[in-house]
A and B are shown apart, each in its own frame.
Chain A
Amino acid sequence: MPEKQDEHIVIVGAGTAGCTAAGQLAREGYRISLIEKESKPGGKVNNWYQLFPDRRKSEEVLKYLLGEIDNPLINISLNTDIDSIIKEKKKFLVTTTHGELLPADAILLATGFDLFNPERKEEYGYGIYDDVITSVELEDKFHSGAILTSKGVPPKRVGIVHCVGSRDEKVGNFHCSKVCCVTAVKQAIEIREMLPGTEVFCFYMDMRMFGPYYEELYREAQEKWGVNFIRGKVSEASENIEGRLLIKVEDTLAGRPLKMQVDLLVLMIGIENSLSGKRIAEDLDLKIGINGFFSVLDNHYGNNLSNMEGVFFAGTCTAAMNITDTISHARAAVVEIDSYLKSQKKEVEV
């Protein structure tokens, strides 16, 4: 066991990044206050039924994260947000929305992301047509064990729209959300598995299968599950007289417009920096990048560092990341925080 440290660290966000970093820092002997605005830890992992690329149950990763924070040195506050963070010399004073005052030697922001609100892309009819749903709502359907349309029947054909709220200047998001292409492929497979008679079509601009085993999953979707892929950005969805959704897209590989009816349209909503994260950025004068996420000090070797000494980043508050990369990023943040606090101690001793 490493010796007990005097320093206290406040971590904002008990999702994948926050739990990972909290666990590792506590093992180094640091005292941690973990602040979470939701009623339970685990963050967005709670949204998933199965994870890509191996379709393991999300509960397994959740269990790992909860195991990480099961440590007497970690004090977690749920349903709690940050009211203010004030820096005085080298120390911080964090006030929570419950009025707690937490002095801290370092702050780790693991505030994660918010999901894009698809009502902002009115042309897809989310909130207007009952059978236009989000990728998160589809995970809920998987959880419930039944994929049904608003009419209470299984869909005969499902359309999946990539890049909803990402790579789209019209909503002010230039960035690629990175994880939605592989999510689409995973969900397409799951639909075909649960409803073998249902056709599934993915409408994509580019297939961005960046991670290990993603391209393989894409192949599997085509070869084993018969998922169809059409390159083109869906321009609009509307309901016809029979109550089916009619979508319009250019089949860019055929060089011709295409129309098709579907019973369920699933929107692959992108990710944006969280509102709570942005509020903290304003409070502390932290830089925001053109993608809206926290701007890191160096894109290559300082991507856990902020423009303020003592404030660190972990996970998707800096950029879109999958769970694997988020865990790695959080572990790297631990190394940065540890060496920062040790260097502070030396300064005092000298």
Chain B
Amino acid sequence: MKNFGFSSIKPRVIDYDKNNRTVLDYIMEHEPSFALCIGCGGCAATCSAARFTDMSLRKINILLKRGENDEVRRLINKCMLCGKCTLVCPRGVNTRNVIFLTQQAFKKLDNYAV
């Protein structure tokens, strides 16, 4: 196809009914503590990766719950799986495992190469 230099602008609206939440379902099945996240941002505050990149685990958690997987894919690879986030979470979410499962789910369900 010829490229005329146009691109369509992706709407910023999260369309909940159109989004696909199979990644979320996979996480919930294997790490039920994910339900307890309240989006406080403690994890993102302590995250070493967040100091140098736009990585925010708090944001990833929310986006996963809405089925905004493209953005999650872009962000999640910046995690170094150090586990500091798990230490601070006031709701006892096993955040490190959430990241791990997310990457796994992408591989499995999407056949996406991490």
Q: Which residues of A are at the interface with B, using a C-beta cutoff of 8 A?
A: 207, 219, 222-223, 226, 228-229, 231, 251, 253-261
Q: Is the CB of A223 within 8 A of B32?
A: yes
25 cross-chain CB contacts under 8 A: A207-B38, A219-B91, A222-B35, A223-B32, A223-B35, A226-B35, A251-B62, A253-B58, A253-B62, A254-B62, A254-B68, A256-B12, A256-B13, A256-B14, A256-B68, A258-B13, A258-B14, A258-B66, A259-B13, A259-B15, A259-B16, A260-B16, A260-B17, A261-B16, A261-B17
B87 proximal to A (CB < 8 A): no
**A254-B38 in contact (CB<8A):** no
Complex Cα distance, B65 from A259, in Å, reads: 14
Which 5 A-B residue pairs are closest in the complex by CB-CB distance? A260-B16, A258-B14, A253-B39, A253-B62, A254-B62
Instruction: Judge if B73 is at the interface, Cβ distance under 8 Å.
Output: no
- The residue on A at minimum CB distance from B18 is A259
Known: A253-B59, A256-B13. A231 touches B65 (CB 8 A): no
Minimum CB–CB distance from B51 to chain A (whole Å) comes to: 19
CA distance A252 to B45 in the complex (A): 17
A50 to chain B, nearest CB (A): 23
CB-CB < 8 A to B38: which residues of A?
Answer: 207, 229
| Bound CA–CA A254/B68 (angstroms) | 10
A138 to chain B, nearest CB (A): 22
Q: A223-B32, A256-B12, A257-B12 are in contact. Are A251 and B17 (CB under 8 A)?
A: no
| Mask of B24-61 contacts with A, CB within 8 angstroms, 1/0 | 00000000100110110000000000000000001100
A172 to chain B, nearest CB (A): 31
CB contacts (< 8 Å) of B14 on chain A: these are 251, 254, 256-259
- B63 at the A interface (CB under 8 A): yes
Residue of chain A at shortest CB distance from B41: A253
Residues of B contacting A260 with CB < 8 Å?
A: 16-17
Chain B residue numbers with a CB within 8 Å of A229 are: 38
B54 CB, min distance to chain A CBs, angstroms: 12
Min CB distance B89 to A, Å, is: 13
Q: How far is the CA of A219 from the CA of B13 in the complex (A)?
A: 28
User: Complex formed: what's the CA distance from A223 to B35 in Å?
Assistant: 6
